[in-house]
Chain A
Amino acid sequence: MFISGQKRKGVKVLKMVSIVINGKEVEVPAGSTVLQAAEMVGIDIPRFCYDPDLSPLGACRMCVVEVKGNRLLPAACVTPVFEGMEVNTESEAVIEARKTILELLVANHPLDCMTCEKMGDCKLAEYCYRYGVKESSFAGEKHQYAIDDSNPFIVRDLNKCILCGACVRACEEMTGQDNLSFLYRGFDRKATTAGDVDYIESDCVFCGQCVAVCPTGALTEKSMVGQGRRWEYGRIRTTCPFCGTGCNFDLAVKDGKIRGVLSNPEATVNGRMLCVKGRFGWDFIYNEKRLTTPLIKKDGQFVPASWDEAFDLIAERLNAIKAQYGPDAFAALSSARCTNEENYLVQKFARAAMGTNNVDHCART
């Protein structure tokens, strides 16, 4: 038996406790929450406000479980395990409680799932399906918020917000921008910007962390509106082309076209965090000013040319200049924006093909 914090061969050995989940005895590290313990043994407990990258809130109550000896149903995301604990994650009482929570949420939700951007990636829809909730017995008023599409990047439809507060915590704990918080009370409670203004009027830096953590269609990427269902996108993991941080993300591709950038939690450097450029600046790819064909300048004007014509002219002129003035009359500028492989080829081009070490890039400028 090892005690927490004790070191053995330099490795911290965690104290383990035995608990019973859904009738199965398992060993999990002391200090785990019930939700984490369940995940470790492959049991999925539904959750809205819990997010592994954010501080625990315990507000949505969707993750309630039954613990033997406890009259109440505690929230699994904030309840630590203890030796001998007996947990049931899908008891009758638990299912009843979850259904009630879902019905309460659905009572004030647009239920326009057929046109919702998040269909296929919405936790509310997923759990309603899982527990067979299709309508609510709680009839009442519904929010009629105006949709905030004031900016080019994020569509904010607070009618679909379930007040899990993930966006508020992401803004504060990931980015540290502190632009979002809960305002008002009761039915009017709202996760919104300071002063309840549109994103574009607020201190938002458009990192989109709020979009990445939102479990419903309340916050979505504007570029993806009407472009496809979430399951239709191929996700190509790649590295951001802007600054030197080296964030990874997925390009969401449908029909050979990029429609958006989605966070990839596996990203080594950044997790799900990105900035405005990485998440939303990729559309330069489809700028209509992209060059699509080689151009040759004739009488001061650029004229479209074939690759062959362009290569022939380059070969002729560079070889002539090299023959007349020597290899050092040539210089190559490579690029800190291009890949390693391209940079390798450019320096090889200058050195092996042209015979000069005149090769540099903008590291110094």
Chain B
Amino acid sequence: MTNPINEITEHAQMMLLIGTNATEAHPVIGYKMRQAARRGAKLVVCDPRHIDLVDEADYWLRLKPGTDIPLLNGLMHIIIKEGLEDKAFIEERTENYEELKEVVASYTPEYVAELTGVPVEDLYAVARLYATTDRAMIFYTLGITEHICGTRNVMSIANLAMLTGHLGRPGTGVCPMRGQNNVQGACDMGALPNVYPGYQPVNVDANREKFEKAWGVSLPAKIGLKIPEMFEAAHKGTVKAMYILGENPVLTDPNANHIKEALDNLEFLVVQELFLTETAQFADVILPAASFAECDGTFTNTERRVQRVRKAIEPIPGQANWQTICQMVTRIGYPMAYDHPHDIWKEMASLTPSMAGINYDRLEKESLQWPCPTLDHPGTPYLHAGKFTRGLGLFQPSEHIPPGEVPDQEYPYLLSTGRILFHYNVTTPYSGGISSVWDKEMAEVNPVDAEKLGIQTGSLVKVTSRRGQVTTAVRVTDRVLPGVIWMSFHYASTPTNELTSAVLDPVTGTGEYKVCAVKIEPI
């Protein structure tokens, strides 16, 4: 997020939500949005589903799945046509505006209404509202990124914010809400194939030399494989061995059967896990992991805030995860020894300028948002004040890119997936309390389709895509559009990702979880 969570209630006059179901996926942020809306901040929800926040919204743009770019282009078209763009901001802080103008010129309200299903008058109203509200924040989540055009969707959002000067000030910004507790931190720490901690590219000589010196070994310059490429390589037999920490790709990655075949094909697999998960079943060696309550450390939340995680009980497997990793790596032949997670943080921070000012002593007293380059730096609540990281903000306009797989005669329904409030990915099914109440998938089906299929809430159906087949109970509800079935991916008994698309965003390798074609058959 460019801006902090608490600006929702403290500064924002308007919130534009696109592809984010905050009250379920980020509940406390969702509560804050609801508080702000009830105190008078304008709320616009762009979502094909009737999510909870629709009931608090001033406008609900119920776009068809996979039409985010036309919607955003349409809003920009109106803003430019009516002269509501922030000319000073565009002039001083951006480049490539002419190309943006050119691309959005063809996205007339009438054309966009046809593509997205959003009425022309709503397009005008929301475009005017966003452009003329001084402090307006945009929020998005996986409804934007989990598409074939995820990167292009994000750029289109950035275009809209730059066009209207909604960046670099409190109560503005582009706020992707990161999924997991520490997905921000895992990226920040360089658990990515192209960068060291703090997003320092591995193929820049000076970076590599710095880390080589610190770690006492020579390091590879070649960018590594992204997750889908790893599994592809395991399929082909070029990746022979893997180590997997605390992830369960068999349930959570798209096109699960393909993942299983890849894991099966490995010569050696190590999994470090809390439970004997669907992925751990494929392991040659399983190392028992400690939970968050058994380890000292830090998590970094979606607003770049580094916060302490504190050990409350002794590790159930006898040792903390960092100790297990150090012992394993030392045995492999590379000595790794630390006295405490603080020493690990210190080593990382000494190599990472954007974190250099953060240490455990400071975190005892406060949480800090990076960039925080020095010990006397207060941290950075919002980014891009006065200047973007690259200097000028680059408009990168996009044409409409339809989903990789759309319903047809054989697979007539559109499957979209996401999270529900009561579960978080694949850990909460191990919570006795939660799983005693929310114990099975309840796929959402529109009443029109339910009647056609002859099913009711509670009926069991078979859902089949070109890649797999699962069984699920259904809930008949107009939360979803006719022609759409919506499912979560939390339950091992209904492994939804056996259905999801093999199509990836070409830049990030993110799967198109939000759109694929299925057929539904009553059982």
Contact = CB atoms under 8 A, between A and B. Distances in A.
Contact of B288 (A284, A287, A294): A294
Interface in B176-190: 177-190
B353 to A, nearest CB: 15
Contacts of A338: 182, 186, 245-246, 321
A341 B344 contact: yes
A95 interface: no
Nearest to B355: A340
Interface string B266-287: 0110100111100000011111
Interface residues of B, number: 141
Contacts of B222: 328, 357
B193 A359 contact: yes
Contacts of B316: 285, 290, 292
A268 interface: yes
Contacts of B132: none
A295 B269 CA distance: 12
B297 interface: yes
B273 to A, nearest CB: 6
A33 interface: no
Contacts of A129: none
Nearest to B268: A317
Interface in A105-140: none
Given A343-B185, A360-B225, A365-B249, A277 B434 contact: yes
Contacts of B270: 314, 318
Contacts of B341: 339, 341
Given A314-B285, A364-B508, A243 B242 contact: no
A242 B433 CA distance: 16
A336 B252 contact: no
B162 to A, nearest CB: 24
B241 A287 contact: no
A270 B29 CA distance: 8
A245 B242 contact: no
A268 to B, nearest CB: 5
Nearest to B259: A365
B519 interface: no
A9 to B, nearest CB: 18
A20 interface: no
B135 to A, nearest CB: 18
A56 interface: no
A359 B216 CA distance: 19
B5 A258 contact: no
Q: Size band of the A side of the interface?
A: 35 or more
B302 interface: yes
B406 to A, nearest CB: 22
Interface in B290-309: 291-295, 297-303, 305-309
Interface string B160-198: 000000000000000001111111111111111110110
A87 to B, nearest CB: 31
Question: Which of B192, B216, B222, B226 has the most chain A CB atoms inside 10 A of its CB?
Answer: B192
Contacts of B189: 334, 340, 343-344, 347
A361 B307 CA distance: 20
Contact of A270 (B28, B35, B306, B318): B28
B254 to A, nearest CB: 7
A173 B36 CA distance: 10
B285 A296 contact: yes
Contact of B317 (A242, A245, A293, A311): A293
Interface stretch (B86-94, B122-130, B423-431): B423-431
B297 A339 contact: yes
Nearest to A277: B424
Contacts of A207: 27, 31
Interface in B207-250: 211, 215-217, 219-220, 222-228, 230, 233-234, 238-247, 249
A325 B276 CA distance: 29
A289 interface: yes
Contact of B191 (A277, A311, A356, A359): A359
Contact of B31 (A151, A175, A356, A361): A175
B301 A246 contact: yes
A297 B284 contact: yes
A305 B287 CA distance: 10
Interface string A228-246: 0000001011111111111
Nearest to B4: A269
Interface in A14-72: none
Given A257-B313, A281-B433, A289-B430, A275 B421 contact: yes
A285 B183 contact: no
B345 interface: yes
Contacts of A293: 288, 317
A287 B275 contact: yes
B437 interface: yes
Interface stretch (B76-84, B328-336, B473-481): B328-336
B522 interface: no
- Residue with the greatest number of chain A CB neighbours at <10 A, chosen from B274, B312, B325: B312
B252 A351 contact: no
Interface in A314-338: 314-315, 317-319, 321, 325, 327-338
B224 A357 contact: yes
Contacts of A147: none
B298 A238 contact: no
B284 to A, nearest CB: 5
A329 B291 contact: no
Interface in A132-160: 151-153
B336 A345 contact: yes
Contact of A281 (B211, B295, B366, B431): B431
A198 to B, nearest CB: 13
Interface stretch (A75-83, A161-169, A179-187, A247-255): A247-255
A276 B421 contact: yes
A101 interface: no
B34 interface: yes
Given A236-B310, A331-B242, A361-B247, A176 B183 contact: no
Interface in B473-517: 508-511
Contact of B239 (A315, A329, A339): A329
B191 A280 contact: no
B427 A284 contact: yes
Interface in B427-462: 427-428, 430-434, 436-437
Contact of A356 (B220, B309, B318): B220
Given A289-B430, A339-B185, A311 B239 contact: no
Q: Which 3 A-B pairs have the closest CB atoms?
A: A246-B301, A339-B297, A357-B224
16 contacts: A205-B27, A246-B307, A269-B6, A273-B28, A277-B423, A282-B431, A296-B284, A297-B283, A328-B220, A331-B233, A338-B246, A344-B344, A347-B192, A349-B243, A353-B336, A354-B332
Given A239-B299, A269-B301, A317-B267, 15 more contacts: A175-B34, A234-B312, A237-B310, A238-B310, A256-B313, A284-B431, A333-B227, A335-B247, A339-B185, A339-B309, A345-B322, A355-B220, A358-B239, A360-B225, A362-B180
